[in-house]
Amino acid sequence: MSKGKVACIMGGMVAAVAALGMAVSASAQEKKLKIGVVYDLTGPLAGGGSELQYIGAKIVLDQFAKTGVEGYKIEAIYADAQSKPDVAINEAVRLVEQEKVDMLLGFYSSAQCVPVAARVEQLKKFMWITTCISSAVLENRNLKYVFRAQPSGAQFGTMTMDFINQNAKAKLGKEPKDLRVAIIHEDGAYGVDVSKGNEAGAKKAGFNVVLKEGYSATAPDLSALVTKLKRARPDVVFHTGYNPDITLLLRQAREQGLKFQALVGHGAGYGVYEKLKEGLGKDVNYFFNTDPISIWLANDKTLDPKLPAEIKYVGEEFDKVKPGVAIRSAHVGMAASNTYLFLTDVLPRAIKKYGGVDSEALRKAALDTDIKEGGTMLGFGVKFEGEGQPMAGQNDRAFPVIIQYVDDKSYVVWPKSQAQREATLPLPAGTTYSNK
């Protein structure tokens, strides 16, 4: 055989080996989890907390994009729901059918989560909810592929009523049966669910409910509702809203001279202190908000030892995106914690125990999750209800806390096991809404 033929054969073998190596390399690179991430980056919900949720989730997703999980590359593809349920549905379907994502993560608004969850279930794709709290997202729907680590809206509503009930006599000077309360809420899935919890809690406490009314979060004028509140003369107002509706309501309440002893909010717009202060100034002082605990208020001593370092990392990364914020919103830590939970607990189990990242593997891995209190950055544990249970996909070990804003700081005041200080009740005399 001539030297030329030998060289040709050798060259072909080298090329074949190189091609095989490239094929093997390409095959290795194909081990990837594509996550479709949906939040509201524009529209009213963006400023009401959704953009902050997006930042929290992205911080953690970017962190794991650098390291991967159990040999799988993490690739996030982001979409803007534009504060519209129809856009949220369309974006979820687009991510699944066109971008070929393996799963969906995020979602802020319960009004979006209810229809999106149904559509994702039809597509047999895994959906990991970081935020929307309405019970209607999961209740009696027996969804197989939809999971929520968050507490439910009903829990928010009942907790705030219990908080006021326990403080009625000692701090407000009234027996519960003599306490006049108003329950007002935006009329979407989120507001309606929390208000149901409020109503159930009020009935249990024996409160005198003097007004219960919903309104559109996009209403341009809420003065008629303020007039009804003035006539009802509530001691405590329980409010569930986003923003700018919160600011609109309370500005008009200030203009019309509405007075009360306490205002208790329930997440969403009440969890974004910077927006509250921007719209209401010092009048936001002594307002209450109900939410999963801010990860920066959690007691390090009660947490899994690996979590404080992650909390510090999330805070430092957030400060790079939003420098100079007086209070880091609980929304940021909420999404960060719930995303971290998926990437460090559910995903590794799906890969190692169930062989991959398809919807069945992720579903089975989520149902195996069994984390005790203190095992998440939000302080609560995790155990999901399974098929056939009333709230299939809901984390039964989740719970919210109540915080109070005081002089540009936030403090946990309820439940007592988590409290950092006593609640200031009623509103101090001389403050804008105080009836003292």
Q: What is the pTM of this model?
A: 0.81
d(CA 431, CA 166): 24
Domain-wise residue ranges, the chain: 31-151+302-368, 154-291+400-414
The CATH topology of domain 31-151+302-368 is Rossmann fold (3.40.50)
Structure-token pair, residue 392: 């299939």
3-state helix, strand, coil in the chain (%, to 5): 50, 20, 35
Structure-token pair, residue 200: 């159930």
Backbone torsions φ then ψ of 331, nearest 5 degrees = -60, -40
- CATH architecture for the domain at 154-291+400-414: 3-Layer(aba) Sandwich (3.40)
pLDDT in tens, the chain (436 residues): 554 554 444 455 444 444 445 444 444 457 999 999 999 999 989 988 899 999 999 999 999 999 999 999 999 999 999 999 999 999 999 999 999 999 999 999 999 999 999 999 999 999 999 999 889 999 999 999 999 999 988 888 889 999 999 999 999 999 999 999 999 999 998 899 899 999 999 999 999 999 999 999 999 999 999 999 999 999 999 999 998 999 999 999 999 999 999 999 998 889 889 889 999 999 999 999 999 889 998 888 889 999 999 999 999 999 999 999 888 999 999 999 999 999 999 999 999 999 999 999 999 999 999 999 999 999 999 999 999 999 999 999 999 999 999 999 999 999 887 888 999 999 999 999 998 8
Quick check: bond before 151 cis, omega within 30?
Answer: no
Q: Specify which residues 182 forms β-bridges with.
A: 211, 237
Structure-token pair, residue 380: 């609560």
Same fold flag, 31-151+302-368 and 154-291+400-414: yes
Question: Quick one: how many helices (H) and strands (E) in the chain?
Answer: 14, 12
